[in-house]
Chains A and B, each alone.
Chain A
Amino acid sequence: MFWNTQRNTLAGWTLGIVGLLGLLMAPALAQPTTLTVLTHESFSLDKGLIARFEKESGIRLRFLKAGDAGETLNRAILTKAAPVADVLYGFDNSLLSKALAAGILEPYPSPQRSTLRPELLLDPTYRALPVDFGYVALNYDKAYFKDKPLPQTLADLARPEFAKLLVVENPATSSPGLAFLLATVATLGQDGYLDFWEGLRKGGVRVEKGWSEAYNVAFSKNGGDRPLVVSYATSPAAELFYSEKKLAEPPTGNLLLPGSSFLQIEFVGILKGSKHPAAARKFVDWLLSKPVQENIPTQMWVYPARKDAALPEVFKWAEVPKEPAKLPPQQIAQGAERWVREWTEVVLQGQSALTVRNARR
């Protein structure tokens, strides 16, 4: 029994922990105005632009990436009593109603709002301002389909020979996934969309949590086993832009089946309870300013919301779908949550479309 050594263990531990903390916590002291922006993992802007903004405004920017757009918004809602950030960027028109209903956003009619495309201003209370827009669309791997037929209609996709080639994102966790789900609701109807998804499930569709898993891992162009993926109409242009060998045309193509693509508008909002409202407003104005708006296309592969922002050369490979699916915002607000739940029941939980429809009453 060596009590004297043991007596010192606890004391030693405590002292050790306290000492380590002192050493480790010292550099973690925050500077005066640090603006925290809660955003999704695809957020990206030119580092030089950000550095210039920080220098001119004296505001330090911290970007907090909390997964996909849906997860990011949930995080903001779950922590609304003690916000983790000042600004929320990247929730889109399919999530807009959820964000507004949760009461987490502060109105801000930015002076920049007159320069934005009027059709994107979906929130008349200015709690959410549009920053950019794009089209969620099906992409295909050209190499795989060189001598194989492509599906001709959205309904074709649910046939077994195509379902097993497709990877989609879970609409509960991913904004392109939700946009594609909304496209199927708009095109195939409240009842038909469930049969379509049931067909996809039976045919072996692959579901991934978010866009990056679906596109960078499961898509055959990037080493996966699925030559069809739900992505964006600008993705082929991005493929060309980033290709290491100077290619004449992109290795992937848009599969713009009628009613299969969906307009996606990304918004920014100031979180209620922000400790730096003035800095947050400055940041929003800057996000809508011309230099940033012209940087957005090649950083995030979406179109700028600002009317007078010029597009880069490579965007000639990006297509605007002629027949996108459309759903009025009120309908999205009323139905989105139910459609996601029904989708989950049919695709992930394996219930039949019929059972789910019968349970609606």
Chain B
Amino acid sequence: MPRRFRSFAWLAWPVWAFLALALFYPLWQILALGVGEGLGPTLANPYYWGRLAWSLAYGLGSSLLVIALALPLAYAFRYRFPGRDLWLSLATVPFVLPTIVVALGFLALVGPHGVLGINLYGTPWILFWASAFYNLGLVLRMLVAVLPALEPPLAAARTLGAPPLRAYWRVGAPLLAPALLAGGGLTFLYSFSSFGLPLLLGGSRYATIEVEVYGLLAYRLAFPEATALILLQLAVLALVSFLYLNAQTRLSLSLAPSALPKALPSAAAWRLAAGVWLFFLALYAPLLALLARALAAPEALASAWTGGDFTPGALALANTLRFAGLSLLVALPVGFAYAYAVWRGDKGLDLAGLFPLMVSPVAVGLGYLLAYPSLSGSLLILIGAYALLSYPLLARALLPALRALPKGVLEAARVLGASPWRRLWRVEWPLLRPALLSGTALALAAVVGEFGATLVLRRPEWTTLSLAIYERLGKPGAEPFREALALAGLLAVLAGGVFLLLDRGRRAVG
């Protein structure tokens, strides 16, 4: 990197310090305990291999399903039809939705007391559907960006006399592969290590490793076995992340500027629109069911607000907002410093900084309990976990904007005698603001809906909206379930606000 950026080299150090305290040291504690006594007996137990097998099957099945759905859909999105831009924008809604809200939506639709009257609770189908709900938008956006770039080479192959199928197989597929690998890889990562959905929807038979770890910890205090499972999970995640990162670098090379959607005759456009609308409505039906049922019982929100036997919704909302604000205070500077250092070409930090996206939140919580027992009553520990889990999202949103900064403008500012600080404030900051807005929204979404680490570290006075909902789900009966639905509706509205923030940031970029 050129010398002119040298002035901000020190920015990497606070990030390393934060990572050491918030991630590496607690993880080291887990490793020490797990390797010490838990690994042998756990690896000898076939039950845990079964858990691993199901987690892998869930991850792989999800990515295949999502790709199978997203590919034809992406082809439909090559054309202009009524609602195209709306759905492309809404496809990112699941990103900001807390898992517990989505889980409740599924329970409201196809749970034991669901609207549809089919009970899919405790079946793999509900989990695969939930996975598609979460990841389809992500993969779709990737493919929509890549597909137009395929047109010229395919046309060339056909001109040279290749039959269409052969052209597709020999020219199109290799070009499409990185995008599919990246999308499938991310879907795998999210599903394989998911916690909230399998815990709330899968019953005991379809528990992922993450859920098993939580059970071992909360019910049996079996630290050694829990840590051994975390190690197994980390090994798989590290491997897949490595493959994903590889695919991603190749992907960024093959990205051509995306073409405008093609026009269609109006009758065909309407037919296409009808199909796409129907598909999305079916996919997002759980969310609609949740909102409908939350609105249908306003008195449940009133009783949830004051609490009764449970944590009052008022306190939970206050906590959620307070923790989100406090985490941003940490995540913003850390994320900014990280993005800056990576942009300057700090390769080591680039890899290390992605690590928080890999570790399981449950493992982070467990690591904190082991590493900082005396802090278990201090908010520091929770805010640390939140900041750790959210800053990479912020930084990932910021990086493309940093890389897109016009060099000429920075150069001009320098030549005209602006100091580095002044440049940052007057030139770079205005250019980065939209991306920062998106990144902040993503970080906020991660914190507002965080469930795993919060559950492990929970203290009664720290109950967030997610935990207040979970509390009510744990009680049999219709009344607590109605209260849970009402609070989930509230949380969904909160996430909607975050989404608008995200969308504004994106519009300013796009």
Contact = CB atoms under 8 A, between A and B. Distances in A.
Contacts of A64: 460
A345 B46 CA distance: 10
A24 interface: yes
A21 B318 contact: yes
Contacts of A13: 501
A231 B317 CA distance: 37
B476 A170 contact: no
A205 to B, nearest CB: 13
B10 interface: no
Interface stretch (A66-74, A105-113, A188-196): A66-74
B74 interface: no
A248 interface: no
Contact of B376 (A7, A24, A81, A213): A81
Interface stretch (A45-53, A263-271, A327-335, A348-356): A348-356
A17 B321 contact: yes
B377 A82 contact: yes
> Which size class do A's interface residues fall under?
35 or more
Nearest to A41: B475
Contact of A351 (B47, B314, B501, B504): B47
Contacts of A260: none
Interface string B136-164: 00000000000000000000000000000
A6 B433 contact: yes
A212 interface: yes
B377 A10 contact: no
Contacts of B369: 78
Contacts of A150: none
Contacts of A349: 45, 47
Interface string B202-233: 00100000000000001111100000000000
Contacts of A9: 437, 501, 504
A80 B369 CA distance: 11
A358 to B, nearest CB: 11
A29 interface: no
Contacts of B376: 78-79, 81-82
A30 B169 CA distance: 69
Interface in A161-187: 170, 172-173
Nearest to A30: B461
A65 B87 CA distance: 44
Secondary structure call for the A interface: helix
A172 B318 CA distance: 34
A345 B375 CA distance: 34
A299 B492 CA distance: 39
A3 B430 contact: yes
Secondary structure call for the B interface: helix
B318 A28 contact: yes
B508 A1 contact: yes
Contacts of A65: 309
A83 B374 CA distance: 10
A348 B374 contact: no
A66 B378 CA distance: 20
A278 interface: no
A357 interface: no
B314 to A, nearest CB: 6
A71 B219 contact: yes
Contacts of A82: 374-378
B47 A350 contact: yes
A9 B325 CA distance: 14
Contact of A74 (B219, B314, B459): B219
A292 interface: no
Nearest to B497: A13
Contact of A345 (B47, B309, B318): B47
A350 B46 CA distance: 9
Interface in A1-52: 1-3, 6-7, 9-10, 13-14, 17-18, 20-21, 24-25, 28
B219 A217 contact: no
Contacts of A7: 433
Given A21-B321, A82-B377, A170 B219 contact: yes
A84 interface: yes
B433 A17 contact: no
B476 A14 contact: no
A341 B204 contact: no
A216 B373 contact: no
B117 interface: no
Given A216-B476, A348-B204, A81 B318 contact: no
A70 B314 CA distance: 29
B422 interface: no
A17 B460 contact: no
A340 interface: yes
Interface string B457-490: 0011000000000000011110000000000000
A77 interface: yes
Contacts of B321: 17, 20-21, 24
Nearest to A64: B460
A71 B47 contact: no
B310 to A, nearest CB: 9
A344 interface: yes
Contacts of A28: 315, 318
Contacts of A344: 220
Contact of A77 (B221, B433, B501, B508): B221
B437 to A, nearest CB: 6
Contact of A21 (B218, B219, B322, B373): B322
A18 B374 contact: no
Interface in A287-303: none
Q: Sorted from nearest, which 9 A-B pairs have the closest CB atoms?
A: A82-B377, A349-B47, A24-B318, A81-B373, A172-B219, A17-B325, A217-B476, A173-B219, A81-B374
21 contacts: A2-B508, A6-B437, A10-B440, A18-B325, A21-B321, A21-B322, A24-B317, A24-B318, A25-B322, A74-B218, A79-B377, A81-B377, A82-B375, A82-B378, A84-B459, A170-B219, A216-B477, A348-B47, A348-B204, A349-B45, A349-B47
Given A13-B501, A78-B221, 9 more contacts: A6-B434, A21-B325, A24-B314, A71-B219, A78-B369, A84-B460, A170-B219, A341-B222, A350-B47
Interface of B: 44-47, 204, 218-222, 309, 314-315, 317-318, 321-322, 324-325, 369, 373-378, 430, 433-434, 436-437, 440, 459-460, 474-477, 501, 504, 508
